[in-house]
Amino acid sequence: QVQLVQSGAEVKKPGASVKVSCKASGYTFTGYYMHWVRQAPGQGLEWMGRINPNSGGTNYAQKFQGRVTMTRDTSISTAYMELSRLRSDDTAVYYCASLATVTIYWGQGTLVTVSS
């Protein structure tokens, strides 16, 4: 079955960077875009961008342009999302998600806390 397993919770100071990983299994990793979505405490869902695991090509939401970098390692079927120059309002749960065939599969989420 399709599984997306994310790395564990992180605590970072303002101005630092964080890199979250998402390991895919149960489907052809290079066949489907990987998206990243975040959810601030008590808030809705916000799309951050996507990566084509086959080519490495990316599309980022304008809000995150210049601060987010999405990469992948096809040898281990893993996608990464790095967010730099962290601020307190980046405190959120970060999810990877993939529209594999017709269904959207979600990772379990990674809590990133930004605090001095």
Partner 1 sequence: DIQMTQSPSSLSASVGDRVTITCRASQGISNYLAWFQQKPGKAPKSLIYAASSLQSGVPSKFSGSGSGTDFTLTISSLQPEDFATYYCQQYNSYAWTFGQGTKVEIK
Return residues touching partner 1 (CB under 8 A): 33, 35, 37, 44-47, 50, 59, 61, 95, 97, 99, 102-109
Going by C-beta distance under 8 Å and a sequence separation of 6 or more, which residues neighbour residue 51? 33, 34, 57, 58, 70, 71, 72, 79
Q: Which helix (H) or strand (E) holds 113?
A: strand 110-114
- How near is the Cβ of 116 to partner 1 at its closest, in Å? 25
Q: Name the residue nearer to partner 1 (CB basis): 16 or 45.
A: 45
Q: Name the residue nearer to partner 1 (CB basis): 61 or 68.
A: 61
- How near is the Cβ of 44 to partner 1 at its closest, in Å? 5
Specify the residue for token string 């304008």: 62
- How near is the Cβ of 14 to partner 1 at its closest, in Å? 25
